[in-house]
């Protein structure tokens, strides 16, 4: 019997497998699973690892996450406050780059692995590795240089700087963020992450349009990735559509795994990626809040029907909101095993 | 004296040039068009009412038609229009008549201010008075400020599912309005990513209307103001 890791590898390489890989991205559900508050849960790497392992055991999907929450990277760089909520995702509450001087003076730690925030992430990865024993792929989340500033200064301030300059300040900030990204890639690989989600909303034309995608996002993504090797990277734009850019991302960045938006036409994604890489079919998990289990099941069937021919296909969720009913998570999993079978 | 039809044609040319610049997210080029229109003898009032507002309205229509419209275009549309309007208003001979009043903020627990900023830029240009309540706003404050500002619309922005759908955001604002018998006095409009994914969500949380993006929110809010105060 193939392990989850073997099934994922088979999908990546286009080799035969009994079924598609099934990802289910449950993050904030870990705290209630362990009976903790969000703040208590996220304070320790062991908690996050235990939450991930418990949720995976409960539902039976294929992946584990080393991600705590998206603002974690900001904490590594100087953010002092996170706003926790018991019913949802933590927010960055301290945009510490407030002035041009802040941008000029802020530095990337020489060795990010010495940072206490990183050490909790490393501890999480260590527990996940020990417990999963290579059976389940461990995912890590890394933010592209063009998007990371939004976590450090707020999206509106970053958009203003990105679109209107000053050019030298923008370049300075992006250079630092790219340096940080590259250090994180090395650190996550060293700590044992198997799949790195390259989160690049500014790599979607729905953020910046095709002209700026080519003139701005693509060159910075090239700088992020040059020489790193991209076999374990997944292209993801934070639920923003990616179909218009897939061809250029493949051509210029060499990425082969694409995690589109639920708003992307999956048939088009599949055709664009073709046999050259892995297409992920992503269910609209915001609509899953109000869907019935039957609707959830029907949507899984639809995605599998489109994505499975030609193999190279994985089924996944976005970041499943806590408001998604338990019955719909169960329905998603049951339907994924039923309709995702190649036998 | 330049004939009226020539003035209109000239403004049309400026509107096109201005919108092309905004559509291309080129702030400098857009401001240059405004400078040219002023240099050609158009008054600040003409610039706002016959150039910037029609341009924003055209942009609203264009962005809603164009499936490839992007966030940068929405942001720049609002930012440039608000910047120009603010500068021109300082030079108006008489303060313009406002069309209505809105209080706006992000829902309790939500610190994402981009959408709110885009909406505010558009509303200011459309001559709607806006009171910015900031981010992470308690439901009680939305209601108190709406009463104090004598607003017609309470606008709530939520970028996260739990702040859009949770008990502390729009749902609570609706409950408070009901309890205080204020439902006939205010309209509640919501916006943000979760509402785009589930187009029925606005009804579930008790809003009167929603907008898919910041620029079209201006139009939706204006419509609600007009319905409430015809």
Q: Residue B80 and residue B57: Cα distance in Å, rounded?
A: 14
Domain ends where: B45, B60, B89? B89
Distance CA A257, CA A126 (A): 25
Pick the residue from chain A with its C-alpha nearest to B110. A91
CB distance from B66 to chain A under 8 Å? Answer: no
Query: Measured between alpha carbons, how far is A149 from A103 in angstroms, rounded to an integer?
Result: 10
Give the distance from residue A261's alpha carbon to the nearest chain B alpha carbon, in angstroms.
11
Is there a single domain that holds both residue B36 and residue B114? no
* Residues of chain B found within 8 Å of residue A263, distances taken between Cβ atoms: 197
Which of residues B89, B124, B154 is at a domain's end?
B89
Please check whether residues B56 and B126 belong to one and the same domain. no
* A311-332 core/surface letters (b: 16 or more CB in 10 A; e: else): bbbbbbbbbbbbbbeeebbebb
Number of separate domains in chain B: 2
Residues B40 and B146 in one domain: no
Same domain for B150 and B195? yes
Q: Kindly state whether residue B39 falls inside one of the protein's structural domains.
A: yes
Q: Answer yes or no: are the C-beta atoms of A240 and A213 closer than 8 Å.
A: no
Report yes or no: B176 at the A interface, CB cutoff 8 Å: no
- The predicted complex's ipTM stands at 0.88
User: Of A300-304, B48-52, B152-156, which range is least confident?
Assistant: B48-52
Alpha helix stretches (DSSP H) within chain A? 4-13, 30-33, 38-42, 45-59, 72-77, 100-105, 116-132, 148-153, 155-164, 167-191, 205-212, 218-225, 246-253, 266-273, 293-307, 326-339
B107 plus B51 within the same structural domain: no
CATH 3.30.379.10 fits A4-339, yes or no: no
The closest CB to that of B70, out of A209, A286, A290, belongs to: A209
Pick the residue from chain B with its C-alpha nearest to A206.
B70
A290 interfacial to chain B (CB closer than 8 Å): yes
Query: For residue B168, what is the nearest residue in chain A, using CA coordinates?
Result: A87
User: Per the domain annotation, does B33 fall within a domain?
Assistant: yes
Q: Which residues of A touch B80 (CB under 8 A)?
A: none
Confidence of residue B8 (pLDDT cuts 50, 70, 90): low
Residues of B in contact with A159 (CB under 8 A): 71-72, 75, 114
What is the tens place of the pLDDT at every residue in A257-299? Answer: 999 999 999 999 999 998 899 999 999 999 999 999 999 999 9
Q: Residue A126 is encoded by which pair of tokens?
A: 């260590």
Residues B185 and B213 in one domain: yes
**Which SS3 state, helix, strand or coil, does residue B110 take?**
coil
Find the residue in A nearest to B28 (Cα).
A164
Q: Distance between CA atoms of B162 and B213, rounded to whole angstroms?
A: 19
Any CB–CB contact under 8 A between A126 and chain B?
no
Contacts of B203 in chain A (CB under 8 A): none
Domain extent at residue B112? 100-228
Chain A to chain B Cβ contacts (< 8 Å): 95
A208 touches chain B (CB under 8 A): yes
Q: Strands A88-92, A138-143: parallel, antiparallel or unpaired by DSSP? A: unpaired
CATH code of residue B203? 3.40.50.280
Question: pLDDT-derived band of residue B7, with 50, 70 and 90 as boundaries?
Answer: low
Q: Are residues B110 and B201 in the same domain?
A: yes
Report which of A83, A301, A160, A32 is spatially closest to residue B72, judged by C-alpha positions: A160
B95, part of any domain? no
Per the listing, tokens 């260590």 go with A126
Neighbours of B176 (CB within 10 A): 16
List, for residues A163-194, the tens digit of each pLDDT value: 999 999 999 999 999 999 999 999 999 999 99
Residues B35 and B83 in one domain: yes
Q: Do B109 and A284 touch (CB under 8 A)?
A: no
Residue B26 forms part of a structural domain: yes
From B81, B21, B19, B14, select the one nearest B41 (Cα to Cα): B14
The model's pLDDT over B63-115, given as tens digits with 9 standing for 90+, comes to: 777 766 788 988 988 999 999 999 999 999 888 889 999 999 999 999 999 99
End-to-end CA distance of chain A: give it in Å, rounded. Answer: 14
Query: Is residue B94 domain-resident?
Result: no
pLDDT in tens, A79-136: 999 999 999 999 999 999 999 999 999 999 999 999 999 999 999 999 999 999 999 9
User: From the candidates B22, B63, B68, B72, which should be mutated to test the interface with A, based on the most A CB atoms within 10 A?
Assistant: B72
**Pick from B76, B109, B117: CB nearest A163:** B76
* Short-list A333, A278, A266, CA closest to A300: A333
For position B9, what pLDDT does the model report? 67
Domain with residue B13: its CATH number is: 1.10.1240
- Asked if residue B149 lies in contact with residue B122, where contact means CB atoms within 8 angstroms, the answer is no
Cross-chain residue pair A208–B163, CB shorter than 8 Å: no
For residue B34, what are its two tokens? 């405004």
A20-30 pLDDT per residue, tens: 999 999 999 99
> Measured between beta carbons, which residues in chain A are less than 8 angstroms from residue B82?
none
CB B206 within 8 A of CB B180: no
B111 touching A, CB under 8 A?
yes
pLDDT at residue B178 in the model: 98
Instruction: Let me know if residue B32 belongs to a domain.
Output: yes
Which residues does chain A have within 8 Å of residue B110's beta carbon, measured at their own beta carbons? 91
Where do the domains of chain A lie?
A: 4-339
> Same domain, yes or no, for B116 and B27?
no
Of B43, B67, B89, which marks where a domain is finished? B89
What DSSP designation does B213 have?
S
Asked if residue B117 and residue B213 are part of one domain, the reply reads: yes
**What is the chain A residue with the closest CA to B27?**
A164
Instruction: Locate A235 and state its tokens.
Output: 């292209």
Whole-angstrom distance, CA of residue A39 vs CA of residue A91: 12
| CB contact B166 to A (< 8 Å) | yes
User: Measured between beta carbons, which residues in chain A are less than 8 angstroms from residue B114?
Assistant: 154-156, 159
Residues B46, B104: one domain?
no
Of the candidates A89, A212, A262, the beta carbon closest to that of B162 is on A89
Phi-psi region of B207 (alpha: psi -120 to 50; beta: other; left: phi over 0): beta
* Any domain includes B172: yes
Predicted confidence (pLDDT) per residue in B126-142, tens digit? 999 999 999 999 999 99
Cβ pair B165:A289 closer than 8 A: yes
């Amino acid at each position: 019997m193939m392990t989850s890791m073997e099934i994922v590898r088979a999908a990546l390489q286009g080799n035969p497998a009994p079924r598609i890989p099934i990802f289910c991205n449950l993050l904030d559900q870990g705290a209630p699973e362990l009976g903790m508050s969000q703040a208590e849960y996220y304070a320790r790497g062991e908690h996050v690892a235990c939450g991930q392992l418990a949720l995976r055991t409960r539902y039976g999907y294929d992946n584990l996450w080393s991600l705590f929450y998206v603002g974690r990277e900001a904490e590594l760089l100087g953010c002092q406050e996170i706003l926790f909520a018991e019913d949802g995702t933590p927010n960055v509450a301290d945009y510490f780059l407030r002035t041009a001087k802040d941008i000029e003076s802020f530095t990337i730690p020489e060795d990010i692995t010495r940072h206490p925030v990183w050490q909790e992430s490393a501890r999480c990865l260590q527990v996940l590795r020990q417990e999963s024993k290579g059976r389940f792929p461990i995912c890590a989340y890394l933010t592209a240089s063009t998007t990371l500033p939004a976590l450090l200064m707020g999206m509106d301030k970053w958009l203003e700087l990105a679109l209107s300059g000053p050019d030298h300040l923008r370049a300075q900030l992006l250079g630092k963020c790219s340096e940080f990204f590259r250090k994180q890639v090395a650190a996550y690989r060293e700590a044992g992450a198997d799949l790195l989600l390259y989160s690049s909303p500014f790599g979607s034309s729905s953020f910046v349009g095709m002209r700026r995608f080519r003139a701005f996002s693509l060159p910075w993504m090239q700088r992020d990735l040059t020489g790193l090797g991209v076999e374990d990277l997944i292209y993801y734009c934070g639920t923003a559509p990616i179909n218009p850019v897939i061809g250029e991302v493949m051509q210029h960045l060499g990425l082969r795994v694409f995690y589109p938006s639920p708003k992307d036409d999956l048939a088009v994604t599949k055709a664009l990626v073709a046999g050259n890489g892995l297409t992920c079919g992503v269910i609209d998990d915001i609509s899953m809040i109000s869907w019935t289990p039957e609707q959830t099941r029907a949507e899984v069937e639809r995605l599998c029907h489109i994505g499975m021919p030609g193999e190279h296909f994985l089924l996944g969720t976005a970041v499943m909101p806590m408001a998604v009913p338990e019955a719909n998570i169960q329905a998603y999993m049951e339907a994924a095993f039923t309709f995702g079978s190649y036998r | 004296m330049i004939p009226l039809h020539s003035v209109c044609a000239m403004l049309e040319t400026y509107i096109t040039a201005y919108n092309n610049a905004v559509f291309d997210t080129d702030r400098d080029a857009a401001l240059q068009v405004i400078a040219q229109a002023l240099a050609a003898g158009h008054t600040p009032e003409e610039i706002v009412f016959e150039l910037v507002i029609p341009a924003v309205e055209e942009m609203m229509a264009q962005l809603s038609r164009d499936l490839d419209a992007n966030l940068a275009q929405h942001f720049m549309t609002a930012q440039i229009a608000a910047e120009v309007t603010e500068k021109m208003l300082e030079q108006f001979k008489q303060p313009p008549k406002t069309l209505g009043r809105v209080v706006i903020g992000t829902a309790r627990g939500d610190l994402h201010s981009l959408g709110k900023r885009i909406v505010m830029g558009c509303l200011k240009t459309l001559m709607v008075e806006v009171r910015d309540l900031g981010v992470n706003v308690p439901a009680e404050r939305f209601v108190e400020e709406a009463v104090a500002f004598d607003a017609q619309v309470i606008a709530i922005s939520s970028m996260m599912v739990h702040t859009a759908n949770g008990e502390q955001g729009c749902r609570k604002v609706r409950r408070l309005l009901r309890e205080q018998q204020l439902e006939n006095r205010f309209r509640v409009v919501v916006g943000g990513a979760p509402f785009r994914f589930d187009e029925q969500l606005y009804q579930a949380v008790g809003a009167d209307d929603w907008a898919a993006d910041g620029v079209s929110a201006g139009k939706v809010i204006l419509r609600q103001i007009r319905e409430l105060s015809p």
